[in-house]
């Protein structure tokens, strides 16, 4: 990507990319799924047909009916209502944590790629060491010690998922740093921060956008896994992972209680991945490209 293309008007470039994505069948489906979930998260408090906290001993594990379209769970709560509301907490936390992860990980990756030399080598070894560790254990330990409130989950997820962004941003920077316009900026005496802001970030931005979309889907899975394992959202707050956990013991005779949150979570993850794939194609980013060691 040339510096001229990278510095084109952002609104115009964004509209062009969106049109390109929507023109692809996978992109159109992905965008529709993601947009639908976002709209549902915003509007569900007004659209939900029942109180998500209302329980009833006479309505336990009732199958779908005209009153409860997706049936009820093991304590008589409406499954449709809780499914509609179940993605709000996950989307809120991950929608904040994802850009934070991309910003801090992308900045360090670009910085290390520009500096190069021993600093770059040492930084890569540290990143590799972190990537070799079982992330889920550290996430569970952090949630167990400090709790699972959004002020804890957001920086935790941003930290752990920002580490692989460092490697991706570093690899993208290595492809740009040898270009003539970077050499010219160095010759003019521009500072490191000025070169990063004016020359490098515009040329690695597309890679970071695609990487951010992929990190978003992984964060959502991690958030739901925390709830499933009992370290995430606390009852009675609706959450897909928590709903799957609560209903997993009744799958053989009350499949609707577990099927609804599984479909909701899966459709969102599929939508994000389809959108990320269409975004990569629209931006000309090769997702299969490996970062240099």
Percentage of the chain lying above the pLDDT 90 cut? 63
Are 156 and 169 a contacting pair, CB within 8 Å?
no
Backbone angles phi, psi at 213, to 5 degrees: -60, -40
* Residue 293 pLDDT: 41
What sign has the CA pseudo-torsion 144, 146, 148, 154? negative
Q: How far apart are CA 68 and CA 158, in angstroms?
A: 38
Selection from 131, 145, 205 nearest residue 173 by Cα = 205
3-283 CATH fold: MetI-like fold (1.10.3720)
Cα four-point dihedral sign 145, 149, 154, 160: positive
Q: Where are the domains of the chain?
A: 3-283
Token pair, residue 154, equals 């957001």
pLDDT tens profile 65-79: 999 999 999 999 999
- Give the pLDDT confidence of 126-137 residue by residue, as tens digits: 999 988 888 888
Closest Cα to residue 79, out of 220, 230, 243, 268? 243
> Residue 9: what pLDDT?
63
pLDDT digits (tens, 9 = 90+) for 102-115: 999 999 999 999 98
For residue 1, give both structure tokens.
């990507």
Q: Has residue 3 got a pLDDT over 60? A: no
- Identify the pLDDT of residue 149: 86
**Is 291 a residue whose pLDDT tops 50?**
no
Model's pTM, two decimal places?
0.89
pLDDT category at 10 given cuts 50, 70, 90 is: low
Give residue-wise pLDDT tens across range 44-102: 999 999 999 999 989 999 999 999 999 999 999 999 999 999 999 999 999 999 999 99
Q: Residues 179-202: pLDDT tens digits? A: 888 888 888 888 888 888 888 998
Mean pLDDT of the chain: 89
Residue 286 has a pLDDT of 73
Of 264 and 57, more confident: 264
At 279, the pLDDT band (50, 70, 90 cuts) reads very high
Q: What are phi and psi of 182, to 5 degrees?
A: -75, -45
Bridge partners of residue 78, in order along the sequence:
72
Q: Are 257 and 245 in contact (CB under 8 A)?
A: no
pLDDT at res. 12: 77
Nearest to 272 by CA among 202, 200, 204, 223: 223
Task: Give the tens place of pLDDT for each residue, 198-242.
Answer: 889 988 999 999 999 999 999 999 999 999 988 888 888 899 999
């Amino acid at each position: 990507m040339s510096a001229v293309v990278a510095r084109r008007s952002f609104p115009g470039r964004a509209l062009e990319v969106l049109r390109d994505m929507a023109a692809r069948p996978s992109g159109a489906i992905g965008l529709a799924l993601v947009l639908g979930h976002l709209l549902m998260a915003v509007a569900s408090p007004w659209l939900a047909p029942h109180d998500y906290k209302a329980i009833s001993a006479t309505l336990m594990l009732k199958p779908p009916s005209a009153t409860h379209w997706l049936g009820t769970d093991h304590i008589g709560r409406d499954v449709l209502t809780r499914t509609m509301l179940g993605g709000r907490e996950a989307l809120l936390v991950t929608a904040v944590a994802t850009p934070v992860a991309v910003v801090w990980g992308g900045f360090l990756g670009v910085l290390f790629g520009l500096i190069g030399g021993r600093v770059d080598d040492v930084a890569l070894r540290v990143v590799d060491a972190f990537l070799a560790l079982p992330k889920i254990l550290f996430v569970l330990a952090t949630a167990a010690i400090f709790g699972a409130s959004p002020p804890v989950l957001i920086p935790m997820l941003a930290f752990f998922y920002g580490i692989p962004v460092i490697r991706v941003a570093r690899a993208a920077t290595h492809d740009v740093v040898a270009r003539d316009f970077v050499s010219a900026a160095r010759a003019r005496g521009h500072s490191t921060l000025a070169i990063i802001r004016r020359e490098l970030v515009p040329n690695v931005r597309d890679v970071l956008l695609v990487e951010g979309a992929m990190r978003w889907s992984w964060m959502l899975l991690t958030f739901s896994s925390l709830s499933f394992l009992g370290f995430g959202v606390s009852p009675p707050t609706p959450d897909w992972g928590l709903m799957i956990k609560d209903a997993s013991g009744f799958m053989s005779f009350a499949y609707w209680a577990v099927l609804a949150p599984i479909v909701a979570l899966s459709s969102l993850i599929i939508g994000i991945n389809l959108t990320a794939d269409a975004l990569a194609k629209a931006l000309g980013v090769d997702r299969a490209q490996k970062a240099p060691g």
